[in-house]
Amino acid sequence: MGRRLAGLAPGAASAVPLLGVPPLGVPPLGVSPLGVPLLGVSLLALALSLGCGDAAVAHPADCMGLAHEDAMACAEERFWEAHTERYEAREATYDLLGAVIEQVPEGVDDVALGRLHFRRAALGMELMLEHGIDRTANVVPDLEAAIRLDPAEAKYPPWLDSMDLVLGFAFGDEARFDAAVERIDANVARYPVGNVLSITGTMSGFPLETGLPQKAVRMLEGWECTEGWCMRNTERAPYSQPGLEVHFADAYARVGDTAQARAHLEAALVAEDAESWPYRDWVEETLADLDGYVARYTELGEEGSAVPLVYANSDFGCTLCHGAVPPR
């Protein structure tokens, strides 16, 4: 990276704290045209289809007054509700997870406690990206706690690497950025099927001169779906199939490969459940002016930052795959 990083940093750091992305979209969620009654019905459906309908009913809404294990299971349920559907509850759910984390001492079930820290970090990221609510200061400590409490869990480190890349870049901290770059391969190798996806979206945002957007494409080209969760949509990621195509399309567009970007966007439109996918219109609009979409990237040249442009840092960076209902 060298001096170039410092040169780019002021612009990045002076905008919205982390990514320079204006908080669009999600705040009006609470007044979604779907309205409250529909949301209630679909939440019930979610609880039932997750196969934990009884548990969901048994746990109090705030997860308080429960034994430690139950409180953590309850917080896990609340996380998925807010992550996939009750967008307006995300901020309160972030606090709820914090309240449970404070109550449960280490040593009871450190794998579950680590997971809870990871969940809170995930909510912190989406509050930042999708709601413009800054939880940046706590995301890294939560990811560090998750890794410390459950060092065998290979999914966590690339999330920390992503944060260090973005924060190192935003604040012109070359040492932090370079150290994260150095860790990418080893941490992805621990669980390639998941970790290639966790880090490539972030990598695409940096200037071409870092080599990271090109490397992201190479990593995606070597990616193989070897587990069930990436072969079909799931309760937790109800639109991952069309969303994964967008993930690939954006990585290709970032390096100027319009043909591959088109192929993946077209594949998104015919992927599983794409008919009801809330981002279908976005894909159609993008395809209608794909040259313009790719040009936003190519005109940045070697040195320009696409950190505020890539989908992964956008106000649908998580809901693209995880959102069961439209954001507005």
Residue 244 in contact with ligand HEC, rule: CB under 6 A: yes
The helix (run of H) or strand (run of E) holding residue 96 is helix 90-103
Residue 276 CA to its chain's centroid (Å): 21
Q: Which stretch binds ligand HEC (CB under 6 A): 63-71, 135-143, 212-220, 242-250?
A: 242-250
Per the CB < 8 A criterion, the answer to whether 178 and 1 are in contact is yes
CB of 118 to ligand HEC, least distance (A): 6
Secondary structure of residue 249 in the 3-state scheme: helix
Give the total residue count for the chain: 328
Residue 200 CA to its chain's centroid (Å): 11
Please report how the helices 212-221 and 240-254 are oriented relative to each other, as an axis angle in degrees rounded to 10.
140
Residue 160 in contact with ligand HEC, rule: CB under 6 A: no
CB of 211 to ligand HEC, least distance (A): 23
Tokens standing for residue 12 = 């990045």
Question: Toward ligand HEC, which CB reaches closer, 157 or 317?
Answer: 317
Question: Toward ligand HEC, which CB reaches closer, 147 or 320?
Answer: 320
Task: Tell me which residue of 247, 175, 185 sits closest to 211, measured CA to CA.
Answer: 185
Cα 36 to Cα 39, 40, 44, 246, distances in angstroms: 5, 6, 12, 30
Residue 122 in contact with ligand HEC, rule: CB under 6 A: yes
Site map (CB under 6 A) of ligand HEC, residues 184-223, x = contact: ----------------------------------------
Which of 76, 88, 126, 150 contacts ligand HEC by CB under 6 A?
Answer: 126
Question: Toward ligand HEC, which CB reaches closer, 174 or 272?
Answer: 272
Question: Toward ligand HEC, which CB reaches closer, 179 or 230?
Answer: 230
Binding site for ligand HEC (CB under 6 A): 119, 122, 125-126, 155, 229-230, 234, 236-237, 240, 243-244, 247, 317-318, 320-322
